[in-house]
Structure 1
Amino acid sequence: MAFKSIAKSILHDAELLDEYIRANNLPQPSFDVDGPPRTVYTGETATAHASLLANTHRLHLLAEGPAGRWLPSLAGATGDAVTTAAVQHFKIADHVPLDSQASFEDVAEKCGLALRDFKIIVRYAMTNFIFCEPQPGFIAHTAASKLLAENRLIRASAAMRTDDIFLPGFKEIEALEKFPGSQEPTESAWGLAHNASLPMFEELEARHPERAKTFASAIEAISAAIADTAQLGVYDWASLGSGTLVDVGGGKGYACRPLAKHFPELSFIVQDLEGTAATGREQLPPDLHDRVTFMTHDFFTPQPVKGADAYYFRAIFHNWPDKYCVRILQNLIPSLKKGARVLIHDPHTPDPLTSHPWAERQTR
C-alpha cells in the first residue's frame, strides 16, 4: 500500500493546484515551447505545491528501490549536471530558432561541436525536456530551453551553477581530504577547481570581472523568483519609520527595491564590492535615486555607516564559515547606535527529522 498512499496524496495536491490554475485563469503548466516559465502559488496552494514536489520525489525513490538509487539514478544525476553544463557552455539554446526547428548539423556547427558530441548532449538534455526532436535529426525549443535563450537572468543562473557549483563539485572529495575541517574560504573545492588564491567573491571581483557580473545577475535571478510580498512580509519594515536601512552585501539592490517602493519614508544604503555596487547604481530605477544609494564596502572591514536604524544581512551568512560570520558582526558593532536593529535574513538548515527530506535537501 506504500505506493497507493503516496499517490493519493499526490492526487489530492494536484487537484488543488489544477483548481487554483483554473480559478485564476492561469496558463496550464507545459513542457511545450509556449509553456509558462513558472506559476506562483499562494496560501494553501503554495503548501500543496511543496507537498507535491516532496511526495513525487519520495514516490520516485521508493519505486526505484535501494539498488536503483545507487545504479541508474546516480549515473543520471551525473549526466544531468554534465549535460546542463555543456548546454550552457556551448550556448546551444542561443543557436536554436525560437519559433521553428533546425538540423542537428546546422546547430552543431554554430556551437563549434562535433556532430556526434552534439547529439549525445542534446538527446540527453531532451530526457529532461530541455529541447525536443520534432522529427529525426532536427532540434527545437521547449519551454525550458527557450527560457535559457531569452532570459538573461536565467542564462546567468545557468552559468553560475556550471562554473561555481557543478565544476567545483567534482573537487569536493579532494578538498575534504586536503583541508579537513577547514573554515578558510580559500581552502575549498571552488578554490581548487579555479586555482584561486582569494576567497570566491574577491577572486571573481579582482580577476574575473565578467564572471562577477554573471554571479550578481544569477543572484538577481534568485531574488526575482521571490515574490515582493514575501520580501515585504519577513519583517515589520514600517516600524523603521523615516529611518535609514543599510543593506550589507546587498548586491545590486534587488532586496531594497521593493522595500523602497512600498515604504516611501525609508532611505537605503546598499553596500557591496566595487563592481557590483557600480552595476547596481547604473541599473537603479530613476524614481528611487533620491532614497537608494550605493556604497563600496567589504564587510570584513569596519562598517563606515554609523548610527543607521537597521543593518540588513540578506543571504550573507550561509556563504561563510562561522568564524567569518563572527568577524562580519564584530566589524559592525562600533557603528551601532542604541536601539539599532541587526536583521539577518538567511536560509537555515532544519533540525534533522523535522521536515520532509525534499525540503531539507533544498537547504543542505
Structure 2
Amino acid sequence: MDLIELSNTVSESARLMSGILEENKVKLSPDPQYPDPSSLTFPNAEAFHDARTQLRDAALRLVYLLSGNHEAFRSIQYNFVVSSVLEIAWRFKLPQTVPLDGCISYEDIAAKVGLDKALIERVMQTLITRGVFQQPDPGHVSHTRLSATLATEQWPDVLFNVIYRWGNPAIMHIADALTKWGASPKPNEAGYNIALNTDKTIWESLDQNQVAQETFGKLMNTVSSFLGPIDTLISGYDWAGLGDAIVVDVAGSLGHISRKLAAHFPQLEFIVQDYEGVCRQGEAILPAELQGRVRFQPHNMFELQQKNPEKKVVYFLRLILHDWSDEECCRILRAVVAGLKQGDRVVIQEHILPESGTGSLFVEQLLRTLDMNMLAATNGQERSAAQFRHLVGMADPRLKVANITTPANSNMGVVELALED
C-alpha cells in the first residue's frame, strides 16, 4: 500500500464519479433528501459503481495505513460498542422522535422517550460520529440519510429484532463455544447455545416458538431485498430455459422468492418446503393468482427427497447451506441427490467468498463478518467457489458443479449442480 498511489486512486475515482453525477444531475449528500448512492441507476451507472468501489477500498486502506497500533485495535473493539449504542436508539425509537424536516433539541427527545437529556446527548453524539444523525446547531439534532432510513423504513426494525435478540449475544460467545466444544460441526454447539443457555439448535427453537418463527420469516423476506435482490437471481440462472419444470424451494420459508420467480416465469411450478407451521403462514399470504402454481409442502430438508419421473425438477437452496457445517451440508445435499434423476438440477444461491485479497476490501469485510455470524449461530459458514466444489465432492462423487456465476454488482452467486453417471 503506497500513500501516493492510494491518494491518486481516491482523486481519480472521485473525479470520474463527480463527472457522472453531474451528467445525470444527481448529487450525493448525507442529508436525508438525497439518494442512497448504492441504489443509483442511470445509463453509465456501472462505471459509477466501479469507481465507488475503488474509492471506498482505497479510503479504507488509507485509514489502515495511517492508523497507529493502539488506535487500530481500539477502533475494531469499539465497533461492538457502537452497535450497542445503535440498539439504544432502536429500542427507544430515537429516530422516530426526530422530525424528517428540521431538527429537535436533545431535551425534547429526552422528554418524549423518558430518558435523561445528558444520556440522549451522549448516545446521539456517538452515532453522529458514524453518520447516523447530525447536529446542525449546539443542543439540537437532525436526520441524515442513514437515520432517516431507521425512522421511515421497516427493514431495520425486522433486522435489528433478530440481531439484538439472538445475533449479537451469540457472537459474543463464539470463543466460549470454541473453548467448550472446539471446532464443532454440530449446530447446537455454537455461540448461540452458550448465549441462550440451550442445547437446541436455533431451528429447533424456532420450530417451538410461533412468534419467533414469524419474526424470522419476516427477516428472510426483508433481507432478500438487499442480501440478494431478485434481479440478480433472475439474471444469474437460465430459469426460462428450464421449460415446463418444477422448482422445489428447499427450506423456502414463506415462499417469498418462489412467489417472485413465479411472477417472472409463468411456465414454472413451485413447491415450497419448510416446517409445517411456516408452510401454513406461507399459504395464508399466497396471492390468489399464484395459488395454482405455488404450493407448500411440509418437509425436513435432512429427509430424502422423492424422485419425480414426469417432469424436470430443480432443487433450489437459497441461503441454506451457509447455515450449516460441511458435515451437515453433506447430509442436506445427499437428501437432495436421492430425488435427482438425469437432467434434474440443483441451484444454490449463496454468498461466494472471494479468495483473500482478490476483490473489494469493503465487500470482503462484509462477507467475512457474515461468515463469523454463521459460525456464531450454527457453526455454519460462507464459502468460496473452491470450497463449494470441495463440499459437493464430499457429499457425492456423482454430483458435479456445472457452473458458478456471480452477477455484476452482487455479493451473491449462483452454483448449479448436475448428477453425472
- TM-score, structure 2 length as denominator? 0.77
What does 1:79-118 align with in structure 2 at a 5 Å threshold? 79-118=81-120
5+ residue gaps in structure 1? none
Query: Any conservation in 2 of the 1:149–1:155 contact (CA below 8 Å)?
Result: no
Q: Residue 35 of structure 1: CA displacement?
A: 2.5
Change (3 A) 1:287 1:22: farther
5+ residue gaps in structure 2? 369-421
Give the aligned residue type for 1:133. Answer: Q
Taking only aligned residues, the RMSD between alpha carbons, in angstroms, comes to: 2.6
SS at match of 2:297: strand
What does 1:123-142 align with in structure 2 at a 5 Å threshold? 123-142=125-144
Give the aligned residue type for 1:12. Answer: E
Identity of aligned residues (%): 29
Change (3 A) 1:345 1:359: same
Match of 1:352 among 337, 350, 356: 356
Give the aligned residue type for 1:98. Answer: L
Map Cα deviations across residues 93-144 of structure 1 (whole Å, 9 max, x no partner): 2333333433323333443433333222221011112122333333332221
SS at match of 2:127: helix
Q: Residue 86 of structure 1: CA displacement?
A: 2.0
Quote the residue 1:269 is aligned against: 271
Quote the residue 1:220 is aligned against: 221
Instruction: Provide the rounded CA distance (Å) in 1 between the counterparts of 2:121 and 2:222.
Output: 30
Q: Residue 356 of structure 1: CA displacement?
A: 4.4
Q: Residue 30 of structure 1: CA displacement?
A: 2.1
Quote the residue 1:29 is aligned against: 28
Instruction: Provide the rounded CA distance (Å) in 2 between the counterparts of 1:117 and 1:22.
Output: 42
Query: Any conservation in 2 of the 1:251–1:270 contact (CA below 8 Å)?
Result: yes
SS at match of 1:34: coil
Instruction: Provide the rounded CA distance (Å) in 1 between the counterparts of 2:78 and 2:217.
Output: 30
Quote the residue 2:393 is aligned against: none
Query: Any conservation in 2 of the 1:89–1:159 contact (CA below 8 Å)?
Result: no
Q: Which has the higher strand share?
A: 2
Instruction: Provide the rounded CA distance (Å) in 1 between the counterparts of 2:168 and 2:318.
Output: 24
Quote the residue 1:309 is aligned against: 313
Q: Residue 14 of structure 1: CA displacement?
A: 2.7
Quote the residue 1:183 is aligned against: 185
Q: Residue 295 of structure 1: CA displacement?
A: 2.9
Quote the residue 1:44 is aligned against: 47
Change (3 A) 1:340 1:278: same
| Higher RCO (CA < 8 A, seq sep 6+) | 2
Change (3 A) 1:52 1:272: farther
Quote the residue 1:62 is aligned against: 65
Change (3 A) 1:283 1:19: farther
Change (3 A) 1:109 1:323: farther
Give the aligned residue type for 1:17. Answer: M
Number of paired residues? 361
Map Cα deviations across residues 148-205 of structure 1 (whole Å, 9 max, x no partner): 1221122212332323332322212211211211111111112222223321133134
Map Cα deviations across residues 32-83 of structure 1 (whole Å, 9 max, x no partner): 1222244246533333332232222111111214342123x23432332221
